[in-house]
Structures are given as C-alpha cells and as structure tokens.
Amino acid sequence: MSDLIQQPQKITDLKTLNKEQLLAFCKQLGLPRFRADQIFQWLYQKGASSFDEMTNLSKDLREKLKEVATINRIEPAAQQKSQDGTIKFLFKLNDEEKDYKVEAVLIPDFYNDGVAKRLTVCVSSQVGCVFGCSFCATGKMGFFRNLSHGEVVDQVQYINEVAEAEYGKKITNIVYMGMGEPLHNYKTVINSADIISDPLGIDLSPKRITVSTVGLTKQIKQLADDSEPFNLAISLHAPSDEKRDKIMPINASMNLDSLEEAVRYYHRKTEKPLTYEYLLFDGFNDTHEDAKNLAKIVNWAPSKVNIIMYNNVAGVELQRAREDRLNAFMKALLKNGVRATVRRSRGDDIDAGCGQLAIREGAPKGKTIAK
Ligand code: SF4
C-alpha cells in the first residue's frame, strides 16, 4: 500500500528537527512511524544528503519529500594531520551570505602496537563564543551564531568516516569542547547528544559523551533536573576568584561560590562523580598554593581533575607550564588528596587549540559578554 500524503508544508530543513519533531512532521504528511524512523536513520546513521539516496522509500514519497523538505549539510573545508595522529577539521556552514566556519578535532590514543584504542572527537557547538576567556582563540573571535543539532551531528558523522578510513575503527568518545560554550546552546547540545546516542543515529553510549562548561550555573542545574545521561566537565582553570577573574570574564557574574552551589546541586541530584578541567599555565596557576586551593574546591565530593597542557595561542601572554612545574604541581595535588591525570597537549605541529584554525582562516569579530 502506498504512503498517504497530505497537503505540503513550507520547505523544512529536516536536520533542524529532533526525533519527536521529525515524527510529527511525518505524521502531518500522513506517514506512519516506521517511515519517520527510516528517514531519521538515513539522515543520522547513513549521512544521506539527498532524498534520492533513501532507497527504501518509494519513488513517489522521495519526490514528495523534495517538494516540502531539504537536507542541510555542512561541508569539510580543510583538514590538517599532526605527526601524533591528531586530525583537525574545518567545516563550512551553509549560511548564504556569511562565510562561517567551525572546527572539530579527532584525537587518537594508541596501544603500544600502534592500534587505535580510543578515538575522541571534540566538536563545536557555536560559531565563535561570547565568553571571551583570555587564553582561548575562539574567545577572541566573539560570538556569531549557535549551531543546529544537525550541524553538530554532521561533524561527528564526517569524522566517523575519516576515523574508519585512517584508523580502522569508529569513534569511541565525544567531547563538547570545541568552539563555543556548549551549555550556552543547551537545546542543540542535548538534541545532538540524543541523536549521537540513538541506536538509529550514531549509537554511541551516552556514558561516552561529555559536555563541558565554563560554569553556567542555571544550565548545570537544568542538566540535573532533566536527568541527562551525559557526563559533565567543569572548566575551572583557576583555583581562586582573584585568578579566575583575570582569565575568565564569566567569573564576574558566576564566581566560584555560585559555581560550587550549582555543582553541589548537580551532584546531589545525579550522584555522579565530578570532572574538572584545569589548564596549567606557566607561573600563573601552577604553584603549591594553587594546588592546595584547587584541592579545597574539588575534594568535597568524589572527583577527578584533568590537568591539561595548554596549546599556546599567538598573541596570548599565558604560556604552557614547564615540565618541572607540572611535575611539582602533580606532586602537590597528590599530597593534597586530589585525583588528577595529565592530558598532554596534542597536535602541537598543527593549529589544534580550539579556534586556532578558524582564526588563521580569518574570522571576523563578533559579540562578547564584555560588550
Ligand atoms: S574557553 Fe570556551 S567559554 Fe571560554 S572563550 Fe573559549 S570557547 Fe568560549
């Protein structure tokens, strides 16, 4: 029996609809649920960019879909591969008049025999960022627009294919730590993470998806209220308000006390252990005193701290901490009971720091919270 099709709607970009909205859209067209599932699978599992590829839909239905809908897809614009295997991608968005680009990075970890163990993708959620952290290349661009969930999933889909071709394996982890503050684009991040973890989408366990934030307190609480299954990572980067004020303008409105209050709320509701990110800067936040203060902030609940070695950014005074200072800092953390691991900087020979490639490509200046 052929599918019953009713009145066409205005042209809808299917990649802006989440699963429920796609179901409603199909229902409006008189299509049964399994058709919505098939279309969802074509869009997000098979990466279809045209209706003609959807070969298990009747020809009539494909023609009808062409009349009422489109499929937007971002385009790969540049790619750089580091000697350590890290691959950086630049994607061009489909804005008619603007030349917006975003970045994503594939970070491989290898077993001793050179076989890929983990393949982590760092995705972007916004074009630029409003929060203007002083160490961040994206922060220097300012904010232009939010990505849609389709644009986030496109990054993952494309990189999944590259991962298989380069390393013989699909990606194993996703982190929302690319361009933009993920919780500032809450709906997109949740919709895209839902699609990435959907068995009809990319089918990655939600436990392997991490959303990072500079500390948007309302949205941290919302994650807990919404019982989202994804991991949360707090980008702390400084162990006192005095130091955080110097490098992260967000701290003026959401200081460490208010951040702790939100994180305590999150922990009470989710009972999940907490993850903190801490970029180590030479002579700025790497002393014994800093380690002691960091311990006070994180030790009230089971937690781990990722000490990240900074990718130096041109024009930024803060520099990656020296190796001897890193070692002393790690010893001080251990002494103060902090569970910490070092994340080595990757892709040093390419522009692998967040926003560096887009800046190099000549990004214009957008809005910041300072303006
Ligand atoms: S570190 Fe994150 S929040 Fe800060 S400016 Fe960069 S992208 Fe924005």
Kindly tell me if the per-residue pLDDT of 61 is higher than 60. Answer: yes
State the chain's mean pLDDT as an integer.
93
Mean pLDDT of 109-115: 93
Mean pLDDT of 356-371: 63
Mean pLDDT of 255-282: 97
Of 20, 63, 103, 260, catalytic: 103
Kindly tell me if the per-residue pLDDT of 51 is higher than 60. Answer: yes
Q: Which two tokens stand for residue 200?
A: 């009809």
Residue 195 Cα, ligand 1 centroid: separation in angstroms?
24
Kindly tell me if the per-residue pLDDT of 330 is higher than 60. Answer: yes
Residue closest via CA to ligand 1's atom 5 equals 139
Respond yes or no: is residue 103 known to be catalytic: yes
Q: Which residues surround ligand 1 with Cβ inside 6 Å?
A: 129, 131-133, 136, 138-139, 179-181, 214, 354
Mean pLDDT of 297-325: 95
Kindly tell me if the per-residue pLDDT of 4 is higher than 70. Answer: no
Provide the sign of the torsion angle of the four alpha carbons 284, 290, 296, 298, taken in this order: positive
CATH 3.20.20.70 maps onto the chain at 75-360
Alpha-carbon distance of 218 to 339, in angstroms, equals: 27
Mean pLDDT of 225-231: 97
Ligand 1 pocket: which of 129, 212, 245, 367 to mutate (most atoms within 8 A of CB): 129
Ligand 1 atom nearest the C-alpha of 130 is 8
* Segment 336-357, tens digit of pLDDT: 999 999 998 788 777 656 565 5
Tell me the fold of 12-70: DNA polymerase; domain 1 (1.10.150)
The pTM of the full predicted model, rounded to 2 decimals, is 0.92
CATH 1.10.150.530 maps onto the chain at 12-70
Residue closest via CA to ligand 1's atom 4 equals 133
Mean pLDDT of 203-215: 97
The residue that leads in pLDDT, 4 or 174, is 174
Kindly tell me if the per-residue pLDDT of 5 is higher than 80. Answer: no
Residue 97 Cα, ligand 1 centroid: separation in angstroms?
25
% the chain with pLDDT above 70: 93
Confidence of residue 367 (pLDDT cuts 50, 70, 90): confident
Q: Which two tokens stand for residue 253?
A: 């409105």
Of 122, 129, 133, 354, catalytic: 354
Q: Which two tokens stand for residue 219?
A: 């949205």
Confidence of residue 130 (pLDDT cuts 50, 70, 90): very high
In SS3 terms, the chain reads as: CCCCCCCCCCCEEHHHCCHHHHHHHHHHCCCCHHHHHHHHHHHHCCCCCCHHHCCCCCHHHHHHHHHHEECCCCEEEEEEECCCCCEEEEEECCCCCCCCEEEEEEEEEECCCCCEEEEEEECCCEEECCCCCCCCHHHHHCEEEECCHHHHHHHHHHHHHHHHHHHCCCCCEEEECCCCCHHHHHHHHHHHHHHHHCCCCCCCCHHHEEEEECCCHHHHHHHHHCCCCCEEEEECCCCCHHHHHHHCHHHHCCCHHHHHHHHHHHHHHHCCCEEEEEEEECCCCCCHHHHHHHHHHHCCCCEEEEEEECCCCCCCCCCECCHHHHHHHHHHHHHCCCCEEEECCCCCCCCCCCCHHHHHCCCCCCECCCC
Ligand 1 atom nearest the C-alpha of 184 is 3
pLDDT score recorded for residue 231: 97
Kindly tell me if the per-residue pLDDT of 126 is higher than 80. Answer: yes
Tell me the fold of 75-360: TIM Barrel (3.20.20)
Ligand 1 atom nearest the C-alpha of 139 is 5
pLDDT score recorded for residue 63: 96
* Segment 24-35, tens digit of pLDDT: 999 999 999 999
Confidence of residue 358 (pLDDT cuts 50, 70, 90): low
Residue 334 Cα, ligand 1 centroid: separation in angstroms?
28
Residue 186 Cα, ligand 1 centroid: separation in angstroms?
15
pLDDT score recorded for residue 265: 98
Please choose, from the candidates 301, 371, 293, the residue with its C-alpha nearest in 3D space to the C-alpha of residue 329. Answer: 293
Kindly tell me if the per-residue pLDDT of 1 is higher than 50. Answer: no
By mean pLDDT, which of 139-143, 207-211, 347-351 is the weakest? 347-351
With 0-12 / 13-18 / 19 or more C-beta atoms within 10 angstroms meaning exposed / middle / buried, residue 192 is buried
Kindly tell me if the per-residue pLDDT of 279 is higher than 90. Answer: yes
pLDDT score recorded for residue 353: 60
- Cβ partners under 8 Å of residue 59, min gap 6: none
Ligand 1 atom nearest the C-alpha of 137 is 6
